[in-house]
Amino acid sequence: MTDRLTIGVIDPEVLGTYGDTGNALVLSHRARARGIATDIVEIHLDEAIPADLDLYVMGGGEDTAQALAADHLRRCADFTAALRRGRTLLAICASLQILGRSYTDATGREVAGAEVLDISTTPQGHRSIGELVTAPLLPGLTQPLTGFENHGGATQLGPDARPLGRVLSGSGNAADHDGGAVDGACQGGVVATYMHGPVLARNAELADYLLARAVGCEVGDLAELDMPLVDQLHAERVRAAGVSA
């Protein structure tokens, strides 16, 4: 297990609208609490995205910001190839959409995605805004996932992607999967979701899942952390959505 971790924050100038870059701070804090040194590196639109960092985060943004980030990913073939080989990345909302095969923007134009996730997104005709709670479907996660969604996309999963969670409250992908509403998409080392929050501040289990992948161990091998306020926040947000924690 590595004792140093480098976290890349991709395009914070356009994908930082909803505070999702805070996910990198959560990962860094939980790593350092376990004696793992961390470096956070911001990668901007005019820079090549390095393909050899330990862990990456991408956030959400508006339509123009999303298009700029999608173009950036398409120009960074080495990075997207690394994701397909299993590099660990957390993607939120707009980033979920641009990592797919394609997404349709607000003008009805179909935009090519990075083709890292086997998903496609089209407009759903209205915005989904509010608390989102799901029952996790990612192996190793046991607690409900909680976040705040604000999107107008309906994301359909292809056979190579699996959902992050089954919707208990809210909309999520706004497209059924095997007969039920789900949120997010997981494929290889990529975990994507419509949950803002930042999502990792609300969901310590998910943060530790990503950390474990990045440092090369099982979640159970990470030292336990005693952070009652984090647990309290998680429970409060789940209850606020009318779901039993």
Task: Look at residues 238, 103, 121 and name the one whose alpha carbon lies nearest to residue 175.
Answer: 121
Q: Consult the annotation and say whether 162 binds a ligand.
A: no
- What 8-state DSSP symbol labels residue 48? P
Residue from 93, 151, 177, 234 carrying the catalytic annotation: 93
Q: Which of 72, 151, 177, 196 is catalytic?
A: 196
Is-contact 148 130, C-beta < 8 A? yes
Name every residue whose Cβ is closer than 8 Å to that of residue 114 and which is 6 or more positions away in sequence.
70, 73, 74, 80, 83, 98, 99, 100
Is 44 designated active site? no
Torsion-angle region of 114 (φ positive above 0: left; ψ -120 to 50: alpha; else: beta): alpha
72 is catalytic: no
Contact (Cβ atoms closer than 8 angstroms) between residue 206 and residue 184: no
Binding residues: 127
Binding residues for substrate: 127
Active-site annotation, residues: 93, 196
